């Protein structure tokens, strides 16, 4: 987001607590997600396209100015949002934490080879309500963690993925959430508090009938540590068991399951 004046830069983080009222937060999450995806999608050859898309999301407008350093470095960016979490919300103010996977490319000075990076990033996005519309007023980076580059192509003998890929079934969401919360509580101990999200494309059934669920665990308070990511599985007639839990790249997950859960940042 090098070309964006509001893009994960600016003032420091505003901490308004971690207690979120039971209100509809879908709109602020949607705006924060759009801000992250548009602000994290950049091509030095068409900088104004990002500017035009981002302006309607910002509380404070600014004139377009080409980033000459991005042009000379041939910088391109792409962002995939992994999760959003509402930290606080009131009638006209909200803070949303966004976790994303960023793909970055640039050409270093006096070099002919493009450098590629994959980064797991977290940032706080502050939104304000103006004339009935939630707009981004500020953002600040919380953490950036380099991820290993994607490896070779999937082996030809890898298991074929099942066609049954979907979000967590609505009828079982609460049951699955409770079971996963128990697994997480056992893993981190009885005292730490956390929020758990089962969001996005996180449910998969493999060819043997085993169910798989991906989840994200956010610490409370948010400043305590980075979010953790996990995968749990349940064979037919059995209980959920933890397949992976941690803050680093996910490992020891079958190829078809990783693809079904949308996981492509493994080691």
Annotated domain spans of the chain: 26-147, 165-260
- From residue 114, how far is each of 85, 108, 119, 193 by CA, in Å? 34, 7, 16, 43
**Are the beta carbons of 87 and 14 closer than 8 angstroms?**
no
- Give the three-state DSSP class for 175: helix
Whole-number pLDDT of residue 16: 40
pTM of the model: 0.53
**Are the beta carbons of 201 and 216 closer than 8 angstroms?**
no
Whole-number pLDDT of residue 157: 34
Q: What is the pLDDT along the chain (267 residues), one digit of tens a residue?
A: 333 333 333 333 333 444 444 567 889 999 999 999 999 999 999 999 999 999 999 999 889 988 888 888 899 999 989 889 898 999 999 999 999 999 999 988 877 788 899 888 889 999 999 999 999 999 988 888 887 765 433 333 333 333 334 566 666 777 888 888 888 888 888 777 887 777 555 788 888 888 888 888 877 765 566 678 888 999 887 888 998 888 766 777 888 888 777 776 544
26-147 CATH choice from 3.30.70.1280, 3.10.450.540, 3.40.640.10, 2.60.40.1930? 3.10.450.540
33-38 own/partner pairs: CB under 8 Å, 24+ apart: 33/81, 33/84, 33/98, 35/98, 35/125, 35/136, 35/139, 36/79, 36/81, 36/98, 36/100, 36/123, 36/125, 37/79, 37/80, 37/81
The per-residue pLDDT for range 201-219, each reduced to its tens digit, is: 578 888 888 888 888 887 7
Q: Is 63 exposed, middle or buried (0-12, 13-18, 19+ CB in 10 A)?
A: exposed
| C-alpha of 60 from chain center | 25
């Amino acid at each position: 987001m090098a070309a964006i004046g509001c893009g994960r830069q600016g003032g420091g983080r505003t901490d308004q607590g971690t207690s979120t009222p039971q209100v509809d937060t879908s709109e602020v999450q949607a705006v924060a997600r759009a801000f992250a995806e548009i602000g994290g999608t950049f091509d030095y050859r068409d900088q104004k396209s990002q500017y035009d898309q981002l302006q309607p999301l910002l509380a404070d407008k600014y004139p377009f100015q080409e980033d000459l350093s991005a042009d000379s470095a041939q910088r391109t960016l792409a962002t995939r949002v992994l999760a959003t979490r509402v930290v606080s919300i009131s009638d006209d103010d909200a803070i949303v934490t966004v976790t994303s996977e960023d793909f970055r490319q640039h050409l270093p000075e006096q070099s002919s080879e493009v450098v590629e990076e994959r980064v797991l990033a977290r940032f706080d996005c502050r939104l304000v309500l103006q004339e009935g519309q939630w707009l981004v007023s500020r953002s600040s980076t919380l953490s950036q963690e380099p991820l290993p580059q994607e490896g070779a192509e999937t082996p030809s003998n890898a298991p074929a993925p099942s066609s049954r890929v979907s979000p967590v079934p609505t009828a079982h969401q609460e049951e699955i959430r409770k079971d996963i919360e128990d697994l997480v509580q056992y893993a981190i101990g009885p005292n730490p508090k956390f929020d758990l999200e089962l969001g996005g494309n996180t449910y998969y059934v493999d060819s043997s009938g085993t169910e798989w669920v991906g989840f994200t665990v956010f610490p409370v308070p948010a400043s305590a540590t980075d979010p953790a990511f996990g995968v749990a599985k349940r064979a037919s007639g059995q209980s959920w068991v933890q397949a992976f839990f941690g803050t680093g790249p996910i490992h020891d997950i079958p190829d078809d399951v990783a693809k079904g859960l949308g996981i492509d940042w493994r080691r």
